[in-house]
Amino acid sequence: MTSTLLTAANTYTDQELLDGIRRRDNAVLSAVYQVFRPRVLALIRNLGGTEHEALDILQEAIVAVFINVQKQEFAFTNGFNAYFHGICQNLWLKKFRDKSRQTHIGSDALDALKMAADVQADGEYAERQAFFMKKFKSLAEGCRELLRLSVIEEKKPEEIVEQLGLGSLNYFYKRKSTCKDKLEALVRTDPNFDQY
């Protein structure tokens, strides 16, 4: 799948972007920065981060792409936009996970669940995604459905109450909190938790 990255002055194909990053071409690096800066800012802010953290993630993602494209076996299938977005998500999840260990993992688990429905970026991200999805699948069916509708599909609470026949918004919020806590407990108690 080929996509293009549009900037004010240039249009680059996926291959041109990869080659330019591999060569450290300033025009290509500038174009990636120009296009992805607002996207990464929005992504990280939506996931609870600051502008400073978002700019760090953007820089780290460009370095990660540079390292990855040096490998002979490097390939991606979803286009550069999806690939770069996935790397940014992966880097933020890692940073957020480290912060969450000091505070609270529940939001991390739900963010990872949401990301699991998005693009696949690299092997480490895929492993983390599989870990959270395994824990998610071990929840009772009612919890899985409620979290799927509210976190992955981002349906409005009123729609979910009606669709699942929950009776009231208060019950929905109580049930969602209970399900999130169960997911958190499954994640935290797994002996492999520290690897993710």
At position 86, the amino acid (one-letter code) is G
pLDDT of 110 above 70: no
pLDDT for position 161: 92
Instruction: Return d(Cα 82, Cα 22) in angstroms, integer.
Output: 18
Helix (H) or strand (E) holding 88: helix 80-102
Give a three-class secondary structure readout of 91-148.
HHHHHHHHHHHHCCCHHHHHHHHHHHCCCCCCHHHHHHHHHHHHHHHCCCHHHHHHHH
| CA separation for the pair 166, 162 (Å, rounded) | 7
Q: Which domains, ranges and CATH numbers included, belong to the chain?
A: 1-103 (1.10.1740.10), 105-196 (no CATH)
Residue 120 confidence (pLDDT) above 50: no
Higher pLDDT, residue 11 or 141: 141
**What is the token pair recorded at 61?**
């993602």
The whole-model pTM stands at: 0.50
pLDDT digits (tens, 9 = 90+) for 35-93: 889 988 888 887 777 888 888 889 888 888 888 888 877 877 778 888 888 888 888 87
pLDDT for 162: 92
- pLDDT of 160 > 80? The answer is yes
Indicate if the pLDDT at residue 196 is higher than 60: no
